[in-house]
């Protein structure tokens, strides 16, 4: 004797719900992979990057980039756990000097950034040459920024990624 299907008319709906759940699950897993491997999100705190970035602004950065250049805006995670969004002004091998409240990299005065560039509180003798695999970062709003003048050069492995979108 054949088994009689009582709810045969709902078989199509069951399959469509399963397909929908599978599609949502796949989308969630893909999103998690993208945001844990490819992209990162950071929030700008304070006005140290003005006028380029404002307090509270959300920025997206690429985690897959390991080619950092002068002028790149990066997200940095310090060993203390603090996170910063700053601009790279010098890379490994560059000579950095701060003289007469001006930033000088490789003998050339750097004109980007607001305000004067003071030496800061980190125990550093200027001029100095950055070691390989380190960068010197500054906020664009120099007088309101905690940056390499405060905590020293940043090891490249502390960089979470390069800014993509804001």
Name 146's bridge partners: none
**pTM strictly above 0.85:** no
8 Å CB contact between 70 and 122: no
Q: pLDDT per residue over 119-148, tens digit each?
A: 877 888 889 999 999 999 999 998 888 899
Q: Which residues contact 82 (CB under 8 A, 6 or more apart)?
A: none
pLDDT of residue 6: 56
CA–CA gap between residue 119 and residue 116 (Å, rounded): 10
Q: Is the pLDDT of residue 58 over 80?
A: yes
Handedness of CA 50, 52, 56, 59 (dihedral sign): negative
Q: pLDDT per residue over 69-86, tens digit each?
A: 999 999 998 888 888 999
Tell which wins on pLDDT, 67 or 135.
Answer: 135
Handedness of CA 97, 128, 142, 136 (dihedral sign): positive
Q: pLDDT per residue over 87-122, tens digit each?
A: 999 999 999 999 988 999 999 998 878 888 888 778
pLDDT of residue 107: 94
């Amino acid at each position: 004797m054949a088994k009689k299907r009582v709810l045969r008319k709902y078989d199509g709906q069951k399959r469509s719900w399963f397909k929908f759940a599978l599609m949502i699950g796949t989308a969630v897993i893909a999103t998690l992979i993208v945001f844990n491997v490819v992209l990162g999100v950071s929030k700008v705190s304070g006005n140290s990057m003005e006028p380029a970035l404002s307090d509270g602004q959300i920025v997206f950065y690429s985690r897959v980039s390991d080619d950092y250049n002068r002028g790149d805006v990066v997200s940095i995670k310090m060993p203390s756990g603090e996170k910063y969004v700053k601009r790279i002004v010098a890379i490994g091998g560059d000579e950095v000097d701060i003289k007469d409240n001006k930033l000088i990299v490789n003998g050339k005065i750097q004109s980007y950034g607001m305000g004067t560039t003071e030496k800061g509180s980190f125990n550093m003798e200027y001029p100095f040459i950055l070691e390989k695999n380190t960068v010197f970062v500054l906020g664009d709003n120099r007088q309101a920024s905690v940056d390499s003048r405060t905590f020293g050069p940043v090891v490249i492995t502390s960089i979470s990624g390069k800014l993509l979108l804001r």
